[in-house]
Amino acid sequence: MQPDDLIESLRARRLLAIVRGTDPDAALDTVLALFRGGVTLVEVSLTTVGALTVIERARAALGEGAALGAGTVLTPADARDAAAAGASFAVTPGVTAALDQARESGLPVLAGVATPTEVALALAEGATALKLFPASLGGPGYLKALRDPFPAAHFVPVGGVDARAAAAFLAAGALAVGVGGPLIGAAAHPGGDAGLPGRIEEFLRVVEEEQPCSTS
């Protein structure tokens, strides 16, 4: 995946699902269920038990064209391992040493930021888009404030984003929203979560109804 491809995927799909769990088989089932349900931009956090194997198996099942990324990429080794497992993009919780290695490995990066200084640093380091994290701290108003000095930056709020907050962040100019627990629930843990299909429908409805806001 090229950087422009990640931007266009975020712009078109508007919802990045974040899978994090304790059961590799359940995590894989969750990834596949998301794609079947229409959420076709998915990140598997490397904190998931067996995350690299989950990415490998999901890639084999979904094919090369699926927008499947690795999250919580902290180190250069994480970035190399994610690329080898078949991830097509990397997501970091901050501006970490993994950013340069991810780009060298051919992975566009959604880099975690929380302050204007971190935004400037991430952009200077070549981040493709910016994960505003934890988004719940500042809310949509903080996103609007950050967009003033960085009008060309592409922001994806993550952290505490439920369906109502997703609509508000998109209205405030987010390119997309990243959603973990409020969407995934317990699906990636032993026993799964029968409510996942209903939440998929809810979030897809939200992102489809909220009209895109210009992000320059």
Q: How far is CA 155 from CA 13, 63, 72, 85, 195, in A?
A: 14, 28, 17, 26, 29
Q: Does the pLDDT value for residue 211 go beyond 90? A: no
CB 71, CB 44: distance < 8 Å: yes
Per-residue pLDDT tens for 136-192? 999 999 999 999 999 999 999 999 999 999 999 999 999 999 999 999 999 999 999
- What DSSP designation does 49 have? T
Q: What is the pLDDT of residues 64-92, one digit of tens each?
A: 999 999 999 999 999 999 999 999 999 99
**Beta strand pairing call for 41-45 and 67-71:** parallel
8, 118, 131, 144: the catalytic one is: 131
Is 144 considered catalytic here? no
Domains of the chain, CATH where assigned: 3-209 (3.20.20.70)
The one catalytic residue in 43, 118, 144, 201 is 43
Split at pLDDT 50, 70, 90, the class of 215 is very low
pLDDT at 210: 75
pLDDT computed for residue 212 by the predictor? 58
Segment (H or E) for 6 = helix 3-13
Give the H or E element holding residue 207. helix 196-209
Q: Check pLDDT > 90 for residue 214.
A: no
Active site residue 43: yes
- pLDDT reported for residue 213: 53
